[in-house]
Amino acid sequence: MYKRYRVQPKTKIDLSEWEPADSSAFDGDKEAGRSATKKLNKRLEALQELLYAEGKHKVLIVLQAMDTGGKDGTIRHVFDGVNPQGVKVASFKRPTPEELAHDYLWRVHQQTPGSGEIVIFNRSHYEDVLVVRVHNLVAEKVWQRRYDQIVAFERQLAEEGTTILKFYLHIDKDEQKERLQARLDEPDKNWKFAKGDLAERAIWPQYQTAYEAVLSRTSTLQAPWYIIPANRKWYRNLVISQILVDTLEGLDMRYPQAEEGLEGIVIE
């Protein structure tokens, strides 16, 4: 039911054609959606435990969005109750001098999942064809070649056993306005607001163009993008939870066989 949000390879994306407030894939209201998400969370918790126990598969989840798009909220709600031992979050902020001394994928590769792990990228290597492009931090010929480099990087991860899911949390400019204003109006959210957010908001069209290029050029069979309607937070969480559960169930995982001779053991 949620395949409609998956970007097929070599599809030209125009974000104006994707409705950020869509909730048409779920036949229910907000409360019903939240209830469904809770059930999915229980299933996700069990699947993550199985993934960790089997120690065979690796799962990489990439979250990208405009400011206030809901990356932190997605992590908090979708993975509520999941064992943190097997789930890690990697956030990619401004590169350090050491990171800048290497190629732009160097710091990223170090954070990819090992066997039995789920790793969530809160922002990612895509910043190097988004922020870098919008703010002209490198020459166009440099960021242009990075699309193919990123596709090759993700293909290598997939061929080595990593399941990759990439989610673009799609909100509109009006929704961003409300969320930014809420950060100003609610004292306990003031810390989330930075004046620089307004400068980024002023170049919204440039970011939309940059995201359209990312979605069009880097969604592949091995590492698909999903454009998630994210104006409604409950629907965002529901859709992503369902995609994750469906994907993990498709891995056909099994618990490892127990050691022989356990039947007669009694703990005294």
Q: What is the pLDDT of residue 85?
A: 84
Q: Does 212 score more than 80 pLDDT?
A: yes
Instruction: Please state the three-class secondary structure of 22-34 as a single string.
Output: CCCCCCCCHHHHH
User: Does pLDDT of 136 surpass 90?
Assistant: yes
Q: How far apart are CA 96 and CA 93, in angstroms?
A: 9
pLDDT in tens, 151-161: 999 999 999 99
pLDDT tens-digit readout, 96-105: 999 999 999 9
Tell me the CATH number for domain 3-249.
3.40.50.300
**In this model, does residue 87 exceed pLDDT 80?**
yes
pLDDT band at 199; cut points 50, 70, 90: very high
Q: Please write the tens of the pLDDT for every residue from 25-84.
A: 999 999 999 999 999 999 999 999 999 999 999 999 999 999 999 999 999 999 988 888
Average pLDDT for the chain: 95
pLDDT at position 258 is 76
Range scoring the smallest mean pLDDT among 152-156, 196-200, 211-215: 196-200
Instruction: Specify burial of residue 43 (Cβ count, 10 A radius: 0-12, 13-18, 19+).
Output: middle
What was the pLDDT predicted at 267? 85
Phi-psi region of 66 (alpha: psi -120 to 50; beta: other; left: phi over 0): beta
Kindly tell me if the per-residue pLDDT of 260 is higher than 90.
no
What are the CA-CA distances from residue 200 to residues 192, 216, 257 (Å)? 15, 22, 53
Distance of CA 60 to the CA centre of its chain: 8
H and E: helices and strands count for the chain: 10, 6
Say yes or no to pLDDT of 1 above 80: no
The tokens describing 183, both together, are 């950060």
Name which residue leads in pLDDT, 3 or 17. Answer: 17
The structure's pTM equals 0.95
248 has pLDDT over 90 = yes
Answer yes or no: are the C-beta atoms of 37 and 238 closer than 8 Å: yes
- Region 242-247 average pLDDT: 97
Looking at the predicted structure, is the pLDDT value of residue 233 above 90? yes
> Cα–Cα distance between 86 and 116 in angstroms, integer?
7
